[in-house]
């Protein structure tokens, strides 16, 4: 299978085989697993992967390790072509997943507030400013 590159504003819900979807604004990529199992592979760009295009063909670096599906596929894509690599052992797959989770958790040391909490904070701040204004 040859993988084409498609820049998109939004990653579609339904993915087509042989297409690497890339949203540069949100730094996301998605594709169906190269083994044909139908598993949706989602990539964080540039956090864990780089997706590039030359002549409409996708290149993904580093390798794609599908640790969260039964197929346990492992491959790289260069100029649209899949090069198969040895599958990760269950222990290696678990270690890779734990490392990624730890890396993301460390970057999220200040968790994002929900929109309700942010809205409440804005309202309280505005109320306090109005209250302070009328006390003068």
Give me the tens of pLDDT residue by residue for the chain, a chain 136 residues long: 899 999 999 999 999 999 999 999 888 999 999 999 999 999 988 777 899 999 999 999 999 989 888 888 999 999 999 999 998 888 888 887 788 778 767 766 556 667 787 778 878 888 888 777 777 5
Query: Burial code of 40-53, b = ≥16 C-beta within 10 A, e = fewer?
Result: ebebebeeebebeb
Q: Which domain holds residue 19?
A: 4-135
pTM of the model: 0.71
Q: Which two tokens stand for residue 128?
A: 């306090």
Number of domains in the chain: 1
Of the candidates 49, 69, 47, which has an alpha carbon nearest to the alpha carbon of residue 59?
49
């Amino acid at each position: 299978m040859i993988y084409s590159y498609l820049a998109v504003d939004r990653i579609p819900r339904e993915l087509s085989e042989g297409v690497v979807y890339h949203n540069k604004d949100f730094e996301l990529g998605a594709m169906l697993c190269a083994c044909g199992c139908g598993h949706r592979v989602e990539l964080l760009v540039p956090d864990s992967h780089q997706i590039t295009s030359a002549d409409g063909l996708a290149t993904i670096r580093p390798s794609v390790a599908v640790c969260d599906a039964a197929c346990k596929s492992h491959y790289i894509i260069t100029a649209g072509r899949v090069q198969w690599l040895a599958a990760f052992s269950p222990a290696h797959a678990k270690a890779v997943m734990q490392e990624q989770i730890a890396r993301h958790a460390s970057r999220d040391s200040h968790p994002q507030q929900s929109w309700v909490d942010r809205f409440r904070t804005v309202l309280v701040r505005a109320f306090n400013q109005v209250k302070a204004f009328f006390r003068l």
